[in-house]
Amino acid sequence: MIFTKTKIPGVFEIELETKADERGFFARTWCVSEFRAHGLNTKLIQCSLSFNTRKGTLRGMHYQAAPHAEAKIVRCTRGSIFDVIIDLRPHSPKFKDHVAIVLTADKRNMVYVPEGCAHGFLTLEDASEVFYQISELHNAASARGVRFDDPAFQISWPNRIEVISERDRNYENFLEQEQCHC
């Protein structure tokens, strides 16, 4: 696997190193020693799948607060998404900054989202499917979110948002004095 740092500490785009032959190719998508060598959380407890019928579907911006803060590995297994990670760690040099990475089934790239960062995406194609590997169990009492269009983050979404849940649409704007406690 090829780990590429982003401007947010601990966020990596991960690309596969394929070994091709006449059958096709083989590649690792997870290796505890490679993740550990990059200082990443290697605890995987839960995997989830998100299927999105329509292009323009927005999911996010979600995170879990401590003591259930979670790291995620996110991969688009069908279609493509505009994936966004916001750094909500108050002591981070990139606090309130975000990074966006296009994840596609064809490219087979992934993103590692560390604890303390909000995550969300916008589908770029109909029938996009997203696979998550997560370090913590879902805990409803710790589930949090910030607005996808909050001026504090200045995210420029590439396409019109066509589908969004009521919950995601109605998150409060982020307040600097609010702490993530991730």
Q: Domain residue spans in the chain?
A: 2-169
pLDDT digits (tens, 9 = 90+) for 55-92: 999 999 999 999 999 999 999 999 999 999 999 999 99
Q: Which residues contact 8 (CB under 8 A, 6 or more apart)?
A: 85, 87, 92, 94, 97, 98, 99, 117
Find the catalytic residue in 62, 91, 119, 138: 62
Question: Alpha helices of the chain — where are they, by DSSP H?
Answer: 32-37, 166-169
pLDDT in tens, 113-156: 999 999 999 999 999 999 999 999 999 999 999 999 999 999 99
Predicted pLDDT of residue 177: 39
Dihedral of alpha carbons 158, 163, 167, 169, sign = positive
Total Cβ atoms within 10 A of residue 96: 17
What is the Cα–Cα distance from 61 to 168, expressed in whole angstroms? 7
Rounded CA separation 111/151 (Å): 24
Q: Domain 2-169: which topology?
A: Jelly Rolls (2.60.120)
Catalytic residue among 112, 132, 138, 181: 132
In the residue annotation, 132 being an active-site residue is answered as yes
Are 15 and 50 in contact by the 8 Å Cβ rule? The answer is no
Tokens of 175: 């307040």
